[in-house]
Every structure is written in structure tokens, then in C-alpha cells.
Amino acid sequence: MKKIQLFGCAALSVLALASCSNDETVLSGNGANQTLGDSQVFQVAVTNEGGLGTRATDFYSETTPQSIDAVKLVIYNTTDNSVVYSKTYNSWNTDAVSSIVTGENARQVTFELKGDEKLVAGQTYKAYAIGYNTSESKYTYTPALTTLDEPGEGEFTFGGALTAKTSDVAEEIFAGAIEGAEADGFQVPGDGQGFTKTILLKRQVAGTFGYFKNIPAVDATGTKTATALRLVASGKNMEVIMDEFQKGNAVNGKTDATAADAAFFDGTDAYEVYSITLTDWFTNGDENEDGVLNDEDTWTAGIAKEGVSFKDGSVFAGKFLVPFAKSADNTMQLQLMAGNEIIKYWNVRLPQAQSDVTTVTGADEAQTEDGSNLYGFNVLRNHLYTLGSRGAGDDGGEGGEPDPDDDPSDLSKGQSLIIKVSAEWDAMSDMVLD
């Protein structure tokens, strides 16, 4: 018996995928009279090798627990794109499904195509999988995920480019198909032969978080009180294209937001990525009147999340982003606000040029950085953009205490701060705020 293996993994990241139920639909047209000597078995596995886990819309560190709760597998014939098989797993992390087991570094489920379910020898197929969140999701899918469960009878087709559109903020989502030489499909062998195929599910969104300490409490004149820290960006997309998974360093977002809701310091339109209300963390403001908000002032964690802890005197925010192509000289800017007024700002730049940047068909046209301007850069899928370091779990460390290695960015040290970009949410390279 050979196996078709379906792995949810994101190169060095925790691809915490979704949940699974035993909902299954076998669609017509998949060769009822065909028999293969070896069984066709699918093994769906989600690895937990370190790196970033999954979170529906927010996350609190470089490692977070799983929260995506569904995995859907679709197999379609590439000759006419007709769907021949569909299977959905729900409650991946909570259901006591006998076929779902937990290994040292993964949860996995195995199922077998039998009888009429078997794929036709000599035909070419594509296996596609998506890991997503079903509760409180803001995504609208095209085609609708429920449509992929309906009997096709040759009427419904699926070309492999599924999109997820949000009306508000991005959330975690994974997808993948067979990569490499068989990216455009695999052929079922004849003569009773089995086969093994691997599908890698990778994050289809980007992530960013900011972790700060020693925040200026007033402007340079000492007359305007800081009320918030916010990160803004030159672009904002609303739709994720899940296709062409073999492309690395890719932009896979499209559909611009309708209107800018912020601005750069020079007045150029921008979009707010996140905003941190300072009084949520420093309830009495700058108590000692030294011009800095830190652990010498009354402090409380501004995020009320069970088990989540931060270093005293720090502030934090984290969000997911639909990837977008650079369109301006500045892609991101961190701003210190007094009401609606920017009283201090830091521009974000890369430490080195982006290379081998690609575009998923239908997405914004990505541009490879030429090295002359590191402030304008593409926001790529499965990349993490961070200010400060918070590398433990949601609790920050053990016993509800922040990890001693946490390193919030110090906003009192002139104009230079370190930001990190993590390709595949793996090895990080420094970025700088000027």
C-alpha cells in the first residue's frame, strides 16, 4: 500500500492548521469501474517544529498556539478541472477522532480512497488543500468552500485559484498543492501501482508585530502628550490569492482598500496596521514626569488575554496582513501620536535589498528591490515583520511570566531601532527604523 502524504508545514514555522471533522463528500466521475492494485491513502499532517504558530487575527509572539480549526482537501481532474473528491476535517485540535493522532512534532490523520473513490489510472489530477478558521472568520471565499463539497457531475469546475476576501482585517490562512515538477498535476499510474505525493501548506498572509519600551511621553517641545503608537503602511489589500505555491518570496494579494484611513508624516495617504493606546498600558501616564513611559510609571498589560504576559513598562500589538506590492518610497512608518497629530515618527527600512521577488497570477505586481531605496519594499506572504523580539509562547515565558530574553525595541535611543523580517517565518534578518 502506498500513501499520498499531505503535510501542513511552513518551512520552519508551526503551521498550525485547522480543524477537522469527518465530513466527506465523494464526487461523481472519478472512475467507479477502475481498480488499482495498491490502496490510495492520504495522510494529512500538521507539524509543530517551532517558529510561529497560528492565530485567527491577532498574535502575541514569535510562537503562538494553534487556533485554525478546519482543513479541506479537494482533488480535481486537470483535463476539465472537474472536482472528483472532497474531504473536510473539523475540530482538528479538539475532536477525539480515532484517526487523528498526535506525534512528537505533528498531528496527523490518515484516510484511504476505496472502491468508487479511487482516482482513475492514466488521468492527471491536482490535489489542493486549505487550512482555515471557521469561527468568527471575516473571509469570503471564491469559490465558496461549501461549493467544493457539492456533487460535481462534471458541472462544477475548480481551477485551483481559490481566493479569500476580507471586509476588515486579515486573518491566518494556509493553502498548498503538490510542488515542484508536478505543480501542474500528477498522473495516476496504471498496472496496479500506487503512489506517494506531498502537499505543503504554507501561510498565505504576512504578519507584523511591535513590542516597545521607553516610549516618549511628550513631543520635542514638552507641550503635547503622546496618546498612541501606530504603524502605518502605504498599501492595504483585501483579497488573498491562494495559488502558485511553488513561488517563493511572493506577493499574492489584490483588491485595494477603498480609502486611506491614515497618513504618513508628509501627508501621503496611508493605512493603519495597528494602533496602541498608551493609557491602556500606562494608566496614570508619565507619573514621574521624566518624559518617558516605562517601568517606573504605573503599568498594566494592555492586552487582557489569559496567559499572555509582557515585560513591565512595555507595549505590544500584532496583526496579520494581506500581502501587497510596494507602491511608494516608504512602505511603513511607526508614529507617535498626540490625538490625531503625529509628534514623532520612524521610517522602516530593510537592511538589504529584497531578491527573487515574484508575483502570483492576478496579484499586485511585485518589484525586486534594486538596492537604491530600502524603505520601499514588498510585503510578502509567509513573512513576518517585527519590531522588538518576543520569542516565547503566548505567555511570554513560563508560569505566566515574560521570557527573560524578550527584547522590546527601545524608543528612547535616538532614531535607530531594529526591525526583523522573517522569510517563511524562519531565520530572521534585521530591519531598521530611522
Q: How many CB atoms lie within 10 A of CB 88?
A: 23
**How many angstroms separate the CA atoms of 184 and 63, rounded?**
33
Give residue 386's pLDDT: 83
Q: Are 359 and 372 in contact (CB under 8 A)?
A: no
Give residue 427's pLDDT: 33
**How many angstroms separate the CA atoms of 378 and 350, rounded?**
11
Under DSSP, the state recorded for 189 is P
Q: Mean pLDDT, consecutive 10-residue segments, the chain of 434 residues?
A: 33 30 41 48 50 50 55 86 84 54 52 79 87 84 85 64 92 81 82 72 86 96 97 96 90 94 96 97 96 96 82 93 92 96 91 86 87 85 84 52 81 59 45 64
**How many angstroms separate the CA atoms of 171 and 203, rounded?**
10
Amino acid at the residue 210: G
Q: How many CB atoms lie within 10 A of CB 223?
A: 9
DSSP string for residues in 199-213: EE-EE-SEEEEEEEE
Give residue 59's pLDDT: 64
**How many angstroms separate the CA atoms of 372 and 320, rounded?**
28
10 Å CB burial of residue 83 (0-12, 13-18, 19+) is: buried
**How many angstroms separate the CA atoms of 245 and 173, rounded?**
13
DSSP string for residues in 102-162: E-SSEEEEEEEE-GGGSPPTT-EEEEEEEEE--SS--EEEES-TTGGGS--TTT-B--S-E
**How many angstroms separate the CA atoms of 290 and 125, rounded?**
66
Give residue 248's pLDDT: 83
As beta bridge partners, residue 39 has none
SS3 171: coil
Give residue 423's pLDDT: 43
Give residue 163's pLDDT: 96
Give residue 84's pLDDT: 87
**How many angstroms separate the CA atoms of 163 and 214, rounded?**
41
Which residue, chain included where needed, has cell 478558521?
A: 133
- Domain-wise residue ranges, the chain: 2-203, 206-433
The dihedral formed by the CA atoms of 428, 365, 148 and 24, expressed in degrees to the nearest 10: -10
Nearest Cα neighbor of 9 from 170, 127, 174, 248 is 174
Q: Are 345 and 336 in contact (CB under 8 A)?
A: yes
Give residue 36's pLDDT: 37
Give residue 26's pLDDT: 41
10 Å CB burial of residue 189 (0-12, 13-18, 19+) is: middle
Chain centre distance of CA 159: 23
CA-to-CA separations, 53 to 13, 63, 126, 434, in angstroms, rounded: 7, 6, 27, 30
Give residue 117's pLDDT: 82
Give residue 431's pLDDT: 54
Under DSSP, the state recorded for 407 is B
Give residue 354's pLDDT: 83
Q: Is the peptide bond before 143 cis (omega within 30 degrees of 0)?
A: yes
pTM: 0.83
